[in-house]
Amino acid sequence: MPRQYPTGFRDEMVRRMLTGEPVLTICSDTGVPEQTLHRWKHQALIDAGLVDGIDSTQGAALRAAHKRIKFLEKELQLVKDASEIYDSLAVVDPKEGRPSRRN
Q: How far is residue 64's CA from residue 32's CA, in Å, rounded to a whole number?
A: 27
Question: Which positions ≥6 away from 89 have C-beta within 8 Å?
Answer: 101, 102
For residue 100, pLDDT over 80 is answered with no
- pLDDT in the model for residue 87: 81
Question: Which positions ≥6 away from 52 have C-beta within 8 Å?
Answer: 46
- pLDDT in the model for residue 10: 93
Sequence ranges of the domains in the chain = 1-53
Q: What is the DSSP annotation of 81-95?
A: HHHHHHHHHEEE-TT
Average pLDDT, integer, range 6-34: 93
- pLDDT in the model for residue 101: 57
Least confident of 25-39, 53-67, 88-102: 88-102
Q: How far is residue 5's CA from residue 24's CA, in Å, rounded to a whole number?
A: 18
For residue 2, pLDDT over 80 is answered with no
For residue 21, pLDDT over 80 is answered with yes
